[in-house]
Amino acid sequence: MDSLSKFARKKLAETRVKGLYRQTIPTRHKDPVHVERGDKIYVSFSGNDYLGLSRHRRVIAAAARAAEKFGAGAGASRLVTGDHPLYQELETGIATFKEAEAALVFGSGYLTNLGVIPVLAGEGDLILADRLCHACLFAGSDLSKAALKVYRHNDLDHLREILDGQRSKYRHTLILTDGVFSMDGDRAPVEEMTALARKFDAWLMVDDAHGLGVVEQGKGSTFKNGHRLDVPLQMGTLSKSVGAYGGYIAADAVVIDLIKNRARSLIYTTGLPPAVVGAALEGLKIIKNNPGLCNKPIQKATLFCRELDLPAPQSSIVPMIFGDIEKTMQTADRLAEQGFLVHPIRPPTVPDGTARLRFSFSAAHQDKDILNLAEVIRGL
C-alpha cells in the first residue's frame, strides 16, 4: 500500500477505536421534518430548517426564477463580475432587518467567520471567545494571528476578569460569542456583554446562526423586546431558518467596506449561485413578515421540555446529555427504531464527556409527533 493510503487507514482506525467514526448517509427530505433513509421514513429532530422554509413553495419558486434570469452560477468572484443584481437586494434586506447601516453576504456562515475575524484582529490584538463558540469562530481566530483567550461558558465575571487584566496590553479587542449556542441551545447574555464591551472598548461580534428567525420574534439575539442591542458586528447564516445558503455580517457601512476590501474568503472565491441568493431573499422576506411563524420552533421545544420535565428551552435546540458515547449512540438507535431521527453529537463537536442527543424543533413539527417522541423517551 502506498504511504498516503496507509496514513488514511491508520488515522481512520484511531477514529473508529474512539467511537468517533462518521459517515454521510443519503437522506431524502419528503417535507421539512420527514426524511427517508433506505426504505424507512423518520420524523427528524435533527435539522436546522427551523421554519420549514427550505421546502416553502415561494422560496423554491424564487430560486427557480433567479436561475432562469441570472444563470446557474455566478461565474466569478463578487469583486470581479460575480456580483449579480440579487446580491444588493439581499444585503439591503439584511441590513434593514438587522437595523444596521450595511451588510455583506459570504459563501456560507463558516466562510463569513473565516473572513471577517482576521480583518478585524491581528498581531497585537486580543480575541476573547466563549469556550462553547462554534468551530468556525475559533477557525477564524486561528487565522488572525491575534492572541486568543477563552472564557468560561456564558461567564460574565470571567470575561470581565480577563478584560481587567489583559485589555490594556493589546491594541484592539474582539469579543466572540454565539447568540444561541449550537449544541446547548442556551443564549448568551448579549445585553450584559454590550455593557462590558463598551466599558473596555472591545468590539462585540455575535454569531446568530441559530437565533435569526427563531428568537426575539425572529429578529435574533442582538435584539431585546423589539430594540436593537448595541452589537457592532451581527453575524449569521442564511442556511438555517432562512432555508437557503450563505452567511452574512451586518455592521456600520465603513466597517462593511473594510471587510469587503480585505476578507480573503470573500475576495478569492466565487459568488453564490443566483438561485441561492434568490431563495435567501424570499426566505428573509417570509421571516420579516411572519413573527408568529418565528415563535413556533420555541413553542414546539417548550412542549417537548414540559412533557419530559426539562428546564424551559431558550431556543429551538434542546440537548439531552449522556456523556458516554456508546450510551448516546444506543439511545439514538432505539429512537430510530421507533421512527425518530435524532442525531447523536460526539466530541470533538462537543467537549469530551458530554456526548449528547441534540433535538432541534421546527415550526413544521406536528404536536402529536412531539408527544409521541416524549412518550418513547420516557419509556427508554
Ligand X SMILES: *Cc1c(COP(=O)(O)O)cnc(C)c1O
Q: Which residues bind ligand X (CB under 6 A)?
A: 108-110, 134, 136, 178, 182, 207, 209-210, 237, 239, 247
Nearer of residues 200 and 223 to ligand X, judged by Cβ: 223
* Residue 26 grid coordinates: 443519503
Distance CA 150, CA 159 (A): 9
Strand order in the sheet with 28-29: 28-29, 34-37, 40-44, 340-341
> Bridge-partner residues for 134, per DSSP?
none
Question: What is the greatest pairwise CA distance in the chain?
Answer: 62
Nearest to 219 by CA among 100, 313, 107: 100
The least CB distance from residue 192 to ligand X, in Å, is: 20
The least CB distance from residue 228 to ligand X, in Å, is: 20
The least CB distance from residue 141 to ligand X, in Å, is: 13
Nearer of residues 187 and 210 to ligand X, judged by Cβ: 210
Nearer of residues 214 and 355 to ligand X, judged by Cβ: 214
The least CB distance from residue 180 to ligand X, in Å, is: 8
Query: 270 with 110: CB under 8 angstroms?
Result: no
Start-to-end CA distance of the chain, whole Å, equals 46
The least CB distance from residue 16 to ligand X, in Å, is: 26
* Residue 52 grid coordinates: 420549514
The least CB distance from residue 108 to ligand X, in Å, is: 3
Nearer of residues 209 and 251 to ligand X, judged by Cβ: 209
Nearest to 206 by CA among 182, 175, 167: 175
The least CB distance from residue 210 to ligand X, in Å, is: 6
Distance CA 149, CA 175 (A): 10
3 state DSSP class of 13: helix
Our CA dihedral for 167, 173, 178, 183, rounded to 10 degrees, sits at -60
Nearer of residues 178 and 369 to ligand X, judged by Cβ: 178
Nearest to 197 by CA among 223, 242, 232: 232
Nearer of residues 210 and 300 to ligand X, judged by Cβ: 210
> Bridge-partner residues for 236, per DSSP?
248
Amino acid at 366: Q
Q: Is the peptide bond before 26 cis (omega within 30 degrees of 0)?
A: no
Nearer of residues 130 and 369 to ligand X, judged by Cβ: 130
Nearer of residues 184 and 207 to ligand X, judged by Cβ: 207
State which residue has the least CB distance to ligand X: 109
The least CB distance from residue 2 to ligand X, in Å, is: 34
